[in-house]
Amino acid sequence: MDVDSEGDGGWWLTESGLDPEKIDLKIEGKTAKSIKNLYYLARYLPVLFTLTSIIGIIIAVPPEQKENLGVGEGLFDTILLLALVPMMLFTFFLTAYRKEEILHKKEVKMVYVSREEGMEIHYTDGRGIEEILHIQLGAISSVHQWVEVKYESGGRDGDQTIRTESRLSSIVTKDDQHMIPGSKKQIRQLCEILGLELKTFKPR
């Protein structure tokens, strides 16, 4: 078992140190593949939107209206297609920064809990690099699960308010707090193993 760095109640490992037969609870999070898919979506969706928008304009504008603009139908289409290339390149490079942000962001892949050996939080990123945080169960002082509500403007004219809810969970130690995935049932099972009462508010 290689230890990279140690803290109060937790340390980083390069490989799992738990006995698979002694694991009492498993909570699944995100995989490297799902993170990479988010990257591709954020990177290429705007480019696809630009492409389909210009093609849609070419198809939608009637030939007689193109003639009224003072250019022939063929020339009008050519101008739009020529405009498409720099617009797509601009959009592509504009969203390039998302590569580092998404691919390198650590997400929880799996949480393992053993009554005898402690907890491990397995992190991964879009490159498939994994890191493991081991935490002694006695170092966990509280478990939280709460609903975060956000309001955003929506609708065609922006005159509607859209309400979204996200259920978030975290554990708190002396040094830090760690966000973890998990359903209501899984988090309650975690509390049962730890002998702690679930707190239904965000850690302060």
Q: For residues 141 and 174, is the Cβ–Cβ distance under 8 A?
A: yes
Tell me: the pLDDT tens digits for 38-65?
Answer: 667 666 666 677 667 666 666 656 666 5
Q: How confident is the model at residue 3, as a pLDDT?
A: 44
Which of the four pLDDT bands, split at 50, 70 and 90, describes residue 67? low
d(CA 161, CA 152): 6
The pLDDT mean for the chain works out to: 78
Q: Which residues contact 148 (CB under 8 A, 6 or more apart)?
A: 165, 166, 167, 168, 202
φ and ψ at residue 41, rounded to 5 degrees: -65, -45
Neighbours of 179 (CB within 10 A): 14
90 closest CA partner among 59, 43, 47, 151: 47
pLDDT-derived band at 196 (thresholds 50, 70, 90) equals very high
Q: What's the pLDDT at 127?
A: 74
Provide the residue ranges of all domains of the chain, joining segments of one domain with +. 36-101
Q: Which of 7-21, 50-64, 174-188 has the highest mean pLDDT?
A: 174-188
Q: Give the model's pLDDT for residue 201.
A: 95
For residue 30, the SS3 value is coil
Q: Is the pTM of this model over 0.75?
A: no
Residue 63 tokens, joined: 């030939």
Question: Which range in 29-38, 44-53, 166-175 is most confidently predicted, on average pLDDT?
Answer: 166-175
Q: E-strand spans in the chain?
A: 3-7, 10-13, 25-28, 107-114, 118-124, 130-135, 140-154, 160-173, 177-180, 198-199
Q: What is the pLDDT of residue 81?
A: 62
Give the separation between CA 161 and CA 74, rounded to whole angstroms: 44
